[in-house]
Structure 1
Amino acid sequence: MNFLSSAALRVIPGAFILNAGVQKIGMPAEASEGLQEFAATGVPAVKELPKEKFGTIIGWSEAAVGGALLAPFVPNFVAGGALTAFSAGLLSLYFADEENTEDDGIRPTEKGLDLSKNAWLLAIGLGLLTSVGGKKKRK
């Protein structure tokens, strides 16, 4: 994958995710608890985290993913792995609520449309994760 195609796949989602993470850091306890309840619908294990600090924990996690995407010294497969895991978590929220999908369990309803859009992040993450860096050796 060349520099320009790699940058195109990393910069926009990286900036978006970094910004979203920074906005969650230090969020009020009530908002943090609400975010935790929502996240627990897709990943029940997050119930074990402290409610009042959940927003900050998620915020720093998102900032780390966004930062990894933006940092040019982080290899594509590392940044792609982080983005793939992050987007898989978001898609678990989508699939956890049957009201988000049509009867086929895949296509989004109007309610699920916002969460379903995270499939694009999964595709980008998988593309970065599986890209082969560098140039082929000439014989």
Structure 2
Amino acid sequence: MKLRNLPTRLATGAFILHSGLEKWRGDEATAQALHGMASGTFPVLKGLRPTEFLRTLSVGEIALGAALLSPTVSTGVAGAALTGFSGSLLATYLRTPGLTKPGSVWPTPDGLGISKDVWMLGIGLGLLADALTRSAAEKLPTRS
């Protein structure tokens, strides 16, 4: 892990890890609300019970948060995982009625909480770009 990536990985990893731990202790109402939003975007999730979905989401967030915080996980892997995770959150945001203003990507008051995940997408893409450009630069021949 490069020092330049430490602030974004710490902040994002800690946030996601905390979110996963909170979901682990989530109640039935939380499970139903999150499952309803997610299964509206990804119909394959309708087959899961809401509490099962919440536990699975929790484990995923805990794993992602820990990966971002771990210096042994490469920047590319951490960036790809964060990009995938935040992309799914943004798909949910864009496809859930009432979260965006009509005909727009901009949030309604109800959508503001989830629309902020666009920042995680930017961080994930930044980590990926850093890993890819670093890898390409390392493969260039050096001049003697």
State the TM-score, normalized to the length of structure 2: 0.83
State the TM-score, normalized to the length of structure 1: 0.86
Cα pair distance change 1:112/1:31, threshold 3 Å: closer
**Counterpart in 1 of 2:50?**
51
Residues matched between the structures, number: 138
In the aligned structure 2, how far is the partner of 1:25 from the partner of 1:111? Answer: 23
Verify the 8 A CA contact 1:33 1:51 in the aligned structure 2. Answer: yes
In the aligned structure 2, how far is the partner of 1:27 from the partner of 1:114? Answer: 18
Report the alpha carbon displacement of residue 114 of structure 1 after superposing the two structures with TM. Answer: 1.6
In the aligned structure 1, how far is the partner of 2:93 from the partner of 2:27? Answer: 25
Verify the 8 A CA contact 1:43 1:92 in the aligned structure 2. Answer: no
In the aligned structure 1, how far is the partner of 2:99 from the partner of 2:26? Answer: 27
Alignment of 1:53-132 (within 5 A): 53-132=52-131
Verify the 8 A CA contact 1:33 1:54 in the aligned structure 2. Answer: no
Where do 5+ consecutive residues of structure 1 fail to align?
none
Report the alpha carbon displacement of residue 77 of structure 1 after superposing the two structures with TM. Answer: 0.8
- The percent of aligned pairs where both chains have the same amino acid is 36
**Counterpart in 2 of 1:38?**
37
Where do 5+ consecutive residues of structure 2 fail to align?
none
